Chains A and B, each alone.
Chain A
Amino acid sequence: MSEPLLSIENLVTEFRVEGGTVPAVNGAGYQVMPGETVGVVGESGSGKSVTVASVLGLLPSSGRVVSGTARFAGRDLLAMRERELEQVRGRDIGLVFQDPMTALNPVMTIGEQIAESLRRHASISRRAAATKVAELLAEVGIPSPKERARQYPHQFSGGMRQRAMIAMAMANRPRLIIADEPTTALDVTIQAQILDLLRRVQREHDAALVMITHDLGVIAEMTERVVVMYAGRVVETADVDSIFHHPRHPYTRGLLRSLPRLGERRDELPAIGGQPPDPRRLPDGCAFRVRCDLSGGRAECGFQPALSEVAAGHVSACHFHGELAEEGVA
């Protein structure tokens, strides 16, 4: 087995708030192999996005990585100085964000914004950069790319913007693309196109893809392996089939149950009973205990369950994963 491209371990990230700090990531970790597509799924506030922001040094000023490691191609991102990290961002790792309207600078042309990334990481002339930009835009399916490059984001439709965003992420042929809810803000019809595009460029560039989403439909369609996060922790990891057919964590099972039918997407994650946890007031022991239909006041719930391999390549953090193994999916 080859070395993982990205390996996050025991990451703890907290935010400064009035009167103290709030943990947002509580020892999360997962791995991404070269060329692999990994889905990271969880409710809002589960820490899936913060984890990525933490390892890439993109936390807002109130956030801080407390501990953990994040190896990318063998180098610890968390130990890097800002300068070194800048070399990784955009060159080795490309990011695609949720809302392409706000994620693009409204007062710079699309071309400038892509060229900027190119010229940052390779010493090429302005002219060469412009040519490359046009190629990239063409590659992501934007017609008359030369003219489009001179336009501003507000002159693009939502889908076009996201294509441009992908072109930007791909500009330096990164080995890893992280797409953070890339289709959430888009029309349903456009969503499929963007997913196709992502898949295509990933294949063509032979890059790994981390797909952060709360949409299990996207997970099912796109990914090979799935990481389920809850309250700042990874609660289950497995290949996509195992997750969908043999979930070994009650939270995953809850998510799947609330999924109406494969292929039908919803904008909002269907509710599991209860509220997502308030990160400032996490319950003692198992963070999921209040919403868990297996807890029933059992003593085990007073302890934080550790991740354990429940099957080959299938890891779960549940005291009762055994019980789930017998049930299967309803």
Chain B
Amino acid sequence: MLAFIVRRLAISVVVLAGISVLLFVLLQLMPGDPAEMMVDPFSFSGDRAAAVQQRREELGLDQSMFVQYVRWIGEFVQGNLGFSYSTQRPVTEVMLERFGPTARLMGTGLVIALLVGIPVGILAAMRRNTAVDYGATVLSLVAISIPSFFVALIGIYVFGLKLGWLPTAGINSPGGGGFVDSVRHLVLPAAILGLALAGPYVRYARAAMLEVLGQDFLTTARSKGLARRRVIGRHALHNALIPLVTVVAVQIPTLFAGAVIIEQIFAWPGMGRMALDAVRARDYPILLGFVMAVAVLVLLCNLIADVAYAIIDPRIRLSGARA
């Protein structure tokens, strides 16, 4: 197992390096010069061209792309992602600050998606071809089909404005506001993120459970006189959850996509909003850091998926390839 993990980590480093080169090239090719952006033409007074050039030199933008990359990667391996062009703050610091809110939103969303999606999917499979099943299937498709930003707008309108139950935006009231306040701010965005995600989970869970329900060993289990609860809970569920763990782990990074939109609408100070602001401001260091963070998360989740699979499925032995 250890050898497997080490091997996979080694591959991951190569993949990360590849992604970083690709990104670096892409970002450098982006139209729009961050140095120009930093010297706002409408409020700057003096020799703007010189000021822009000075900025460019400060940022090393006058160097060749290769030199810039070597410098960046050199810093990167030391855990230094450079400084934000717009706030001059260390990217690592900014991202760490932004990570908490995003993790809170994504984590809660994921928990909601799992708590809703998986039981509903399993129930639908067990009540196959009944109203419950049809209802769950159709509702899950509806959840997949309605854009979450649309739901978010309506959610803000209904729960924030009309009913006044929940705050309309932000991660907390000014100055913190304590646990209850944080939870109140979290409910709406996390629920919308979670429910959007629950749609696919219902379908995965249903399919996985249906697959298992057709298996012979369930008949065996029943033939031993086991109670239905144990047959379902112990034999069926366990087997159905194995593929789900993988699916869920591998899909964690895609939560980021949902988070970008939700954070934007709810003014959530997370990494998604940071990334969008960085795109607009051509804040390369932030953008690079963000995409690298997503890449690390992607590789990590792939690894976690494989390891988790090996841990919970005795048939899999990690020897470098899946059985």
Contacts and interface: CB of A to CB of B under 8 A. Distances in A.
Given A106-B314, A154-B315, A86 B226 contact: yes
Secondary structure at the B interface, as helix, strand, loop or mixed, is helix
Secondary structure at the A interface, as helix, strand, loop or mixed, is mixed
Interface in A149-165: 152, 154, 165
Contacts of A61: 128
Interface in B212-226: 215-217, 219-226
A126 to B, nearest CB: 15
A87 B225 contact: yes
B227 A86 contact: yes
B315 A120 contact: no
Contacts of A168: 220, 224
Interface stretch (A33-41, A97-105, A266-274): A97-105
Interface stretch (A88-96, A254-262, A295-303, A309-317): A88-96
B238 interface: yes
Given A106-B239, A107-B242, A152-B315, A56 B223 contact: yes
Given A152-B314, A152-B315, A154-B315, A103 B219 contact: yes
Contacts of B220: 95, 97, 103-105, 165, 168
Contacts of A83: 227
Given A89-B222, A90-B223, A117-B225, A106 B216 contact: no
Interface size class of B (residues with CB under 8 A): 20 to 34
Contacts of A103: 216-217, 219-220
A246 interface: no
Nearest to A117: B224
Contacts of B230: 116
Most buried by A among B128, B226, B228, B313: B226
Interface string A156-199: 00000000010010000000000000000000000000000000
Interface residues of A, number: 31
Given A102-B215, A102-B217, A107-B314, A91 B238 contact: no
A122 to B, nearest CB: 11
A89 B216 contact: no
A128 interface: no
A105 B216 CA distance: 9
Nearest to B216: A102
Interface string B195-216: 0000000000000000000011
A158 B235 CA distance: 21
A82 interface: yes
A58 interface: yes
Contacts of A97: 216, 219-220, 223
A107 B310 CA distance: 11
A90 B216 contact: no
A121 interface: yes
Given A82-B228, A152-B315, A105 B223 contact: no
A83 B230 CA distance: 13
Contacts of A106: 217, 239, 313-315
Given A97-B220, A103-B219, A106-B314, A120 B235 contact: no
Nearest to B128: A61
Contacts of A88: 225
Given A120-B226, A121-B225, A168-B224, A105 B315 contact: no
Contact of B217 (A94, A95, A105): A105
A58 B222 contact: yes
Contacts of A82: 228
Most buried by A among B219, B234, B235: B219
Interface of A: 56, 58, 61, 82-83, 86-91, 94-95, 97, 99, 102-109, 116-117, 120-121, 152, 154, 165, 168
**10 closest A-B pairs by CB:** A90-B225, A90-B224, A89-B225, A117-B224, A95-B223, A102-B216, A152-B314, A105-B217, A86-B225, A103-B216
12 contacts: A58-B222, A89-B225, A95-B223, A97-B220, A103-B217, A105-B217, A107-B238, A107-B242, A107-B314, A109-B314, A117-B226, A121-B225
Interface of B: 128, 215-217, 219-228, 230, 234-235, 238-239, 242, 312-315
Given A83-B227, A107-B238, A107-B312, 4 more contacts: A86-B225, A90-B225, A90-B226, A97-B219
